Amino acid sequence: MLNTILEINDLTVAYQYKPVLWDIDLVVPEGVMMGIVGPNGAGKSTLIKAVLDIVKPVAGSVKLLGKPYHKVRSKVGYVPQKGSVDWDFPTTVIDVVLMGIYGKLGWVRRPGRREKILAGEAIGKVGLSDFTNRQISQLSGGQQQRVFLARALIQDAAVYFMDEPFQGVDATTEKAIIGILKELKSRGRTVIVVHHDLQSVREYFDWVTLLNVRKIDSGPTDKVFNNENLEKAYGVNFNMAVTK
Amino acid sequence: MDFIDFIISLFTDYTTRTIGMGTAVLGIASGTLGAFTVLRKQSLLGDAIAHASLPGIALAFLITGIKNPFVFFVGAALSGWLATLWIMSIVNNTRIKSDAALGVVLAVFFGVGLVLLTYIQKLPNANQAGLETFLFGQAATLIKEDVIIMLVITIFSLLCIFMLWKEFKLVTFDPQFARSIGYKTNLLDFILNTLIVLAIVLGLQTVGVVLMSALLIAPAAAARQWTDKLGRMVVLSAIFGALSGLAGTAISSTGAKISTGPTIVLSAVFIVFISFMFAPRRGLIAKAVQRGKNRHRLALNKIFQSMYEICKNHDNPGHKHSLAILKTLPEFNKRTVRVLQEKDLISIDKKRDWCLTAKGLKKIEEMTDNEN
């Protein structure tokens, strides 16, 4: 039996008294590539943010690698939604990627030559070597997404959380990103992805969690990703969502 | 007194030197912190803090009964800081958005400040006069002790920013990621906001509560135009702030009896204007030039492609066509045709007939290859 990497118990999150996640229980085994799927407003991003201590839950507990989050931070990589930052910020590609090391550097200390070499490698992996010193607003949406991915790669984590890494990227970039994710999985890393495109779920993920405020179901894609569960998650609009 | 005289008097005249140093130091502090304020999209917060410091100044006077810059400074800082906390808590705990929260808190504090000010003016105390100078500032009242306080606080702020550089950068750019790696974003916000309050309060005596936020925002907005690196932006913003301070002091000391605060602010605004117009890449002129270039290049590509379409219909690519055909195209003008000719992509003979050259044919094939 696989080891558990993420264990969530009775997690409830609310914004302004409105529950966004309700009583979630979830167990994710180590080494899977899991898609979190559900309609808009289902709480997919919030689930990740609650695990990463960005959002404070009303109730419930989260254990990563068997420990509370703040004890295992250095083993976690995070790719926020691309739209959550201002890309006109005065900074360069390598500078953003270096932010992935800040957590390991601790207070006051600055990244040095060793860190810059690591950043250069991560930038190379996502195919942006020619853009290393480019200002980030001059990148395309797909390139910006790759910058975030490189920043997560440099975190060298055991488990990665990615919030819609395929949003607003072209088919080439999507393939490149999925290639990198599969490589992470092949090296035993767990990858958890908030995902919107139902068509590609079977192709990309071996584990799926269906969510709509409550957990609908979670498990191996073959067993869980079926019409019945999709109907439960998406309601009557399910057929429209898939045939689109 | 002209500008040279001002430079000389900076070294010789005690009063001018004190005021010049004070305003320059103030410009450095507000420029540096303003860079973060602008990038955090909190420009209006500066205005609210400045206005909110007025009741603090008035209360400080009422409680202590003395007119001392340091006492005023503490009162202003506490009151400005309280306003910041109040705004933050409204934004975090209610559905009210930050612009409305800023507006309400600013109005409440400034209103209370004005009421207290009129109350103080009616007190039978000769000592009272002068508090209203905080509304528009009075640089002439700066003395050496004030400048020393300003210098100490500025150095302290710069030191904080230097030490916490990467933390402030990350929490400004991507606060969610910062939290995910364990940064105490609330603590960092608190430190940064405290420094911003200090920078604003530093300028109240010189520039006044009404205009102080301009000195926070303007140098930073100008600096953003010139660079794409945070470090350079902060340094440039500090330089612009110092220049504004010095220029304002210089202009107002030319004897025209113009008050220094507004002149400093206008100097900063002038730098903003220059930056918005002339900065490379981000400036309006650079952008217009770039747009013109793009339009020209597009027209060139389009007409060149149309010419190829015309030629394609003939087996012999060297077949000649009349220039008159091209005149039906919207992109046609003498310049585009001339440029194509100069680049040796087309040739035009004496009868005003044209055809694609060998080089032109090769180029068009490359272009279509790239598209596919």
- Locate B283 and state its tokens: 């400036």
Neighboring chain B residues of A111 at a CB cutoff of 8 Å? 166
Give yes or no for B236 touching A (CB within 8 A).
no
Instruction: Quote the pLDDT of residue B10.
Output: 72
Question: What are the tokens at A180?
Answer: 């990198």
Residues whose CB is less than 8 angstroms from the CB of residue B39 and which lie 6 or more positions away in sequence, other chains included:
A86, A89, A90, B172, B173, B220, B230
Running DSSP on this structure, what letter comes out for residue A213?
S
Residue with more model confidence, B346 or B180: B180
For residues A48-73, give the mean pLDDT.
90
- Give the whole-angstrom CA distance, residue A160 versus residue A36: 13
Give Cβ neighbours of residue B122 (< 8 Å, ≥ 6 apart): none
Segment among A68-77, B260-269, B306-315 with least mean pLDDT: B306-315
With CA atoms as reference, the chain A residue closest to B95 would be A16
A–B interface: beta-carbon pairs under 8 A: 76
Q: Specify the higher pLDDT residue, B67 or B111.
A: B111
Cβ–Cβ contact B176 with A under 8 A: yes
Binned at pLDDT 50, 70 and 90, residue A95 comes out as very high
Domains and CATH numbers, chain B: 3-280 (1.10.3470.10), 286-371 (1.10.10)
Tokens of A75: 């083993």
**Type of residue found at A183:** E
3-state secondary structure of B356: strand
Split at pLDDT 50, 70, 90, the class of A240 is very low
Q: Do B233 and A90 touch (CB under 8 A)?
A: yes
**Residues above pLDDT 90, as percent of chain A:** 43
Spell out the alpha helix ranges (H) of B260-333: 260-278, 284-312, 323-326
- A103 CB near a chain B CB, below 8 Å? yes
Q: How far is B262 from chain A (nearest CA, A)?
A: 30
Put simply, whether A92 touches B (Cβ < 8 Å) is yes
Q: Helices A141-153 & A171-186, crossing angle to 10 degrees?
A: 10
Scan for tokens 């220059």, then name that residue. B274
Q: Predicted confidence band at A244 (pLDDT cuts at 50, 70, 90)?
A: very low
- Rounded to the nearest angstrom, the minimum Cα separation between A204 and chain B is 25
Chain A residues with beta carbon closer than 8 angstroms to that of B227 = 90
Q: Chain A within 8 Å of B174 (Cβ-Cβ)?
A: yes
- Pairwise CA distance, residues A231 & A238, whole Å: 6
How confident is residue B66, by pLDDT bands cut at 50, 70 and 90?
A: confident
* Contact between B178 and B171 (Cβ < 8 Å): yes
- A135 Cα to chain B: minimum distance (Å): 6
Interface of B with A in 86-115 (CB under 8 A): 95
Whether B351 shows a pLDDT value over 80: the answer reads: no
Q: Tell me what the pLDDT averaged over chain B comes to.
A: 87
Q: What is the pLDDT of residues B111-163, one digit of tens each?
A: 999 999 888 888 876 566 578 888 888 888 888 888 999 999 999 999 999 99
Please report the pLDDT score of residue A171 as a whole number: 87
pLDDT in the model for residue A86: 93
Token digits of residue A133: 């010193």
Q: What angle do CA A196, A33, A43 make, to 5 degrees?
A: 40
CA distance B87 to chain A (A): 18
CA distance B93 to B95: 7
Q: Do A49 and B95 touch (CB under 8 A)?
A: no
CA B47 to chain centre: 14
Alpha-carbon span B69 to A69, nearest angstrom: 48
pLDDT one-digit tens code per residue, B268-302: 999 999 999 998 888 899 889 999 888 888 888 88
Q: What is the pLDDT of residue B3?
A: 67
Is residue A78 less than 8 Å (CB to CB) from chain B? yes
What's the per-residue H, E or C state across B269-288?
HHHHHHHHHHCCCCCHHHHH
Q: How many Cβ atoms sit within 10 Å of the Cβ of residue A148? A: 26
Distance CA B100, CA B78 (A): 22
Please name each of the domains of chain A with its CATH number: 4-84+157-243 (3.40.50.300)
Distance from CA of B164 to the nearest CA of A (A): 6
Q: Which amino acid is at A209?
A: T
Residue in the block written with tokens 């470090």:
B231
- Note the pLDDT of residue B256: 67
- By CB atoms closer than 10 A (0-12, 13-18, 19+), residue B254 is middle
pLDDT band for position B109 (cuts 50, 70, 90): very high
Confirm or reject contact between B122 and chain A (CB < 8 A).
no
Q: pLDDT digit string (tens) for A119-172?
A: 999 999 999 899 999 999 999 889 999 999 999 999 999 999 999 999 888 888
Least confident piece of the model among A44-58, A167-181, B61-75, B318-332: B318-332
- What DSSP character marks residue B158? H
Radius of gyration of chain A (CA): 18
Q: Measured between beta carbons, which residues in chain B are less than 8 angstroms from residue A54? A: 176, 179-180
Q: Is A76 on the interface with B (CB under 8 A)?
A: yes
Residue A102: its chain B contacts at CB < 8 A?
Answer: 166-167, 170, 181, 183
Per-residue pLDDT of A22-59, as tens digits, reads 988 998 999 899 999 988 888 899 999 999 989 889 89
Q: How confident is the model at residue B68 (pLDDT cuts 50, 70, 90)?
A: confident
State how far Cα A220 lies from the chain centre.
18
Q: Is the pLDDT of residue A197 over 60?
A: yes
Which residue blocks in B209-278 are alpha helix, DSSP H? Answer: 212-226, 230-252, 260-278
State yes or no: pLDDT of A177 exceeds 50: yes
Phi-psi group of A10: left, alpha or beta (phi > 0 → left; psi -120 to 50 → alpha; rest → beta): left
Our CA-based measurement puts residue B228 at a distance from the nearest CA of chain A, in whole angstroms, of: 4
Which of A73, A90, A108 comes nearest B182 by C-beta? A73
Instruction: Give dist(CA A183, CA A204) in Å, integer.
Output: 12
In 10 A of CB A173, how many CB atoms? 21
N-term to C-term CA, chain A: 38
* Shortest alpha-carbon distance between residue B6 and chain A (Å): 36
Residue A242, pLDDT > 60, answer: no
Looking at every residue in chain A, the average pLDDT score rounds to: 88
Structure tokens at B68: 């001392």
Instruction: Tell whether the model's pLDDT for residue A243 goes beyond 60.
Output: no
Residue A72 touches chain B, beta carbons under 8 Å: no
> Does residue B354 sit in helix, strand or coil?
strand
Say how many C-beta atoms besides its own lie within 10 A of residue A84's C-beta.
Answer: 13
Chain B partners within 8 Å of A107 (Cβ): 164, 167
Residue B233 touches partner A, C-beta closer than 8 Å: yes
For B188-202, the pLDDT digits (tens) are: 999 999 999 999 999
Task: Classify residue B343 by burial, with Cβ atoms within 10 Å: 0-12, 13-18, 19+.
Answer: middle
Closest by CA to B240, choosing from B208, B294, B189, B276, is: B276
Instruction: Kindly determine whether residue A53 and residue B163, on different chains, have CB atoms separated by under 8 Å.
Output: no
Residues of chain A with C-beta less than 8 angstroms from the C-beta of B233: 90
Of the candidates B12, B21, B81, B67, which has an alpha carbon nearest to the alpha carbon of residue B206?
A: B21
Q: What pLDDT shows up at residue B370? A: 65
Structure tokens at A171: 């088919």
* Contact call for B164 and A103, based on CB within 8 A: no
What CA–CA distance (Å, rounded) separates A207 from A218? Answer: 8
B252-272 pLDDT tens trace: 887 667 888 889 999 999 999
Nearest CA in chain B to A71: B182
Closest chain B residue to A134, measured at CA = B228
Lowest-confidence range among A98-112, B62-76, B196-210, B331-345? B331-345
Nearest to A54 among B165, B170, B179 (CB): B179
Structure tokens at B75: 């009162």
pLDDT (mean) for A82-93: 92
- List the alpha helices (DSSP H) in chain A: 44-51, 69-72, 93-98, 102-105, 113-125, 141-153, 171-186, 201-204, 221-224, 227-234, 238-243
Q: Which of B39, B166, B179 sits opposite A53 (nearest CB)?
A: B179
Contact yes or no for B176 and A76 at CB 8 A: no
Residue B43 has pLDDT above 90, yes or no: no
- DSSP state at residue A236: G
